[in-house]
Amino acid sequence: MTSQRDHDYIEYVTLRLPALRRLALLLCQDLHRADDLVQQAIIRVYLHWPKAARAGNIDAYVHTIVVREFLHERRSSWTRRVSVTGDLPDTPAATPDQDWSLDLRAAVAALPPRQRAVLVLRFYCDLSIDQTAHALQCTPGTVKSQTAKALGSLRTALGREAGRARFQDATSLRSHGEAASNA
Amino acid sequence: MLETEIRDLFQRQVASDLPVARVSIAEAHRAARRRLRLRRAAAAVSPLIAAVAVLAIAASGSALTGAGRAPAGPGGQPAAPRQFSSTRSYVRLTWLPGRSAVTQYRLSSASDGLDISSSIVWDFGAMAAGQCQLRHRTLSCPVIRGLPLRRVVGLVGGRPMYLSVLGINVRILSWEYAPGAWAQMAGTSGASAVRAALRIARGARFGPAVAAPARFPYRLVGVPAGWSLSGLSISPGYHDLIQTATFSAPASSRLSAPVITAAPAGTMASCKRLIASPAVGEYQVRYQTIRGYRVLLSFGPAGQGSPRQHSLCVPDADGTLLELQGGPNSSMVPVFEHLRLLGANPARWTTRPLG
């Protein structure tokens, strides 16, 4: 027996898997967890496939599933096991980058899950406030406040890092100066 | 502007090629079909059979409620083991809010999970010793890592219970129920529910004998050495007792270790609903009589680079519906041949499903 549902599902997920992994990577800020998230999310996609297929925008519907699964997984999944095949791939070394970018990346990774999800939906998926609110099952006002909190946290963290960098530079210069004068 | 830099950061993070995916579409498809089957099977059992099952469970003292007096509370808590039993819950809740119930137990060697369904929905989890690490007031457990423990909301067994808030309204309560062993509760309800959660936690009893061992309506006999039960989930709250046991076997085993789902007996229509969502590609179904029982065999899917998955469903194996799910390219018929059926009376069930 064959099913059009199963055929369509397999075809869609196969084609969209890279995009789903990229979205999950931004949410989780960790590739291994991102793959676990995608593994779990595409199960739910199948369970909700009839509804997804009827949606005007399947991608948006599936992205919503990924985001909600991300937030739900962070809330509670004590013994939920995700069977993910294959060996753990070697993670390539981070390419050289500016200090600022690394600080921003670390600051984003340190955000609470919901704030991070808001930033990903608004600044990567380019969703509107209303669309973001629908994905997160909250009000537009909440999206605005979460965005503001996230940006505020980032500015605070980056300001703090910038201050620390300046301090380190200053002490480094002072120690070099002392070494030179003692030479 | 910061927003522009965030956009640039996200684009850079996803611009490079990602390593090979560890995601298996075939495995997800199989798991999803399985969930659909369980849902349909739960809805398909007749009310009369369900009522008999509930009464039988109650008469036998239930699969997981403890018999006899509960041991002393956490103040006199013995050391928790580094591995739990997969057939016996290490935790029992002696108090729940009104109109609440435990809807699912999930047992494994690393942790026990209980889903509590009520007006406040909480997950309760107890981890075996050594599963969580506390460092610099930050708790890392297998599921939630890096949880800051800042606020104490009460004492449980003389030990502080910490409240952590994630996101807008997600509350996680953590406490050390035994030296080196942690328990957590999570829910999305309001602050007032924390008081109820505190009472649930104080009523939790931990120990190797706080709950009766699970009972199985079958026993796998004559299987090769090295087989074990790696996980068990039981859902007693849907008018049926649906029990799913995951077995593990050494790689050298000639038999494929199954996942066995047991429920009160149904009809062939129950088994048909379990496979009502066949997968893409070649998928075969046939009826067969094995050991005098009428069974439904299914094979699939194949193609898409994935091996065949086998399943065998017996709608009425002496009063019990059994579904055996197998690994790749492994028929479940030989496994069914090793299954000793124990009937529908829980008093005759076994606490040792292997051997």
What fold does the segment set A96-183 form as a domain? Arc Repressor Mutant, subunit A (1.10.10)
Q: In three state form, how does the secondary structure of B84-129 look?
A: CCCCCCCEEECCCCCCCEEEEEEEECCEEEEEEECCCCEEEEEECC
Residue A84 has pLDDT above 60, yes or no: no
Tokens 């299954």 locate to B339
Give the CATH class of A1-85.
mainly alpha
Q: What is the pLDDT of residue B241?
A: 67
Q: Hey, which residues 117-176 in chain A have their CB within 8 Å of chain B?
A: 119-120, 123-124, 138, 142, 146, 151, 154-155
Domain range list for chain A = 1-85, 96-183
Q: In three state form, how does the secondary structure of B40-81 look?
A: HHHHHCCHHHHHHHHHHHHHCCCCCCCCCCCCCCHHHCCCCC
Residue A150 has pLDDT above 90, yes or no: yes
DSSP A79: S
Alpha-carbon span A126 to A45, nearest angstrom: 22
Alpha-carbon span A44 to B32, nearest angstrom: 7
Cβ–Cβ gap B23/A92 under 8 Å: no
Q: What is the pLDDT of residue B178?
A: 93
| Alpha-carbon B112 to chain mean position | 9
Residues of A in contact with B188 (CB under 8 A): 75
Alpha-carbon span B91 to B128, nearest angstrom: 11
Closest residue in A to B15 (Cα) is: A22
Contact predicate B106/B245, CB 8 Å = no
Compute the count of residue pairs across chains A and B with CB atoms less than 8 Å apart: 169
Q: Hey, which residues 1-20 in chain A have their CB within 8 Å of chain B?
A: 1-3, 5-7, 9-10, 13-14, 17-18
Cβ–Cβ gap A39/B27 under 8 Å: yes
Alpha-carbon span A111 to B56, nearest angstrom: 50
Residue B234, token pair as written in the block:
């039981």
Residues of B in contact with A75 (CB under 8 A): 123, 166, 170, 172, 186, 188
Q: Hey, which residues 120-159 in chain B have their CB within 8 Å of chain A?
A: 123-125, 143-144
Closest among B216, B207, B214 to B65, alpha carbons compared: B214
Alpha-carbon span A81 to A101, nearest angstrom: 34
Alpha-carbon span A183 to B101, nearest angstrom: 77
Closest among B177, B211, B204 to B94, alpha carbons compared: B204
Mutate one of A35, A79, A122, A136 to test the B interface: name it (highest B CB count within 10 A).
A79
* Kind and range of the H or E run holding B172: strand B170-178
Count of helices and strands (H, E) across chain A:
8, 0
- Does the ipTM surpass 0.85? no
Half-sphere exposure of B207 (CA within 13 A, CB side): 19
- Segments in chain B below pLDDT 70: 17, 37-78, 118-121, 168-169, 188-192, 237-241, 269, 272-283, 300-308, 327-329
Report how far apart the first and last C-alpha atoms of chain A are (Å, whole number). Answer: 85
Pairing mode of beta strands B122-127, B151-156: unpaired
Residue A143 has pLDDT above 90, yes or no: yes
Residues of A in contact with B6 (CB under 8 A): 104, 108, 119, 123, 154
Q: What is the pLDDT of residue B79?
A: 86
Q: Look at B118 and A6; give whichever has higher pLDDT.
A: A6
Of the candidates A47, A104, A124, the beta carbon closest to that of B32 is on A47
Mutate one of A71, A76, A139 to test the B interface: name it (highest B CB count within 10 A).
A76
Alpha-carbon distances, residue B226 vs A167, B252, B260, B338 (angstroms): 60, 10, 18, 15
Alpha-carbon span B110 to B116, nearest angstrom: 20
Residues of B in contact with A44 (CB under 8 A): 32
Provide the phi-psi class of A112: left if phi over 0, else alpha when psi is between -120 and 50, else beta: beta
Contact predicate B135/B149, CB 8 Å = no
* Kind and range of the H or E run holding B140: strand B138-140
Residue B331 neighbours by CB distance under 10 Å: 17
